[in-house]
Amino acid sequence: MRVTFVPDPEADDALERAELLLTLRKRGIRDPLLMRAFEQVPRERFVDPACRSLAWVDQALPISCGQTISQPAVVALMTEALDLKPSHSVLEIGTGSGYHAAILGQIAERVVTLERFRTLAQAAAERLRRLGYTNIEVVVADGSAGYAPRAPYDRIIITAAVNEVPPALFDQLRQGGVLVAPVGPPQDTQMLTRFALTADGIVKREMVPVRFVPLLKGVAQVL
Catalytic residues: 70
How far apart are the C-alpha atoms of 193 and 209, rounded to whole Å?
Answer: 9
Please report, in angstroms and rounded to a whole number, the separation of the first and last CA atoms in the chain. 29
Name the helix (H) or strand (E) containing 119: helix 118-130
- Would you put residue 112 in left (φ > 0), alpha (ψ -120 to 50) or beta? beta
Q: How far apart are CA 215 and CA 182, in angstroms?
A: 10
Inter-residue contact 82 to 178 (CB < 8 Å): yes
Give me the sign of the Cα torsion angle 56, 102, 180, 203: negative
Length of the chain, please?
A: 223
Q: Which positions ≥6 away from 28 have C-beta within 8 Å? A: none
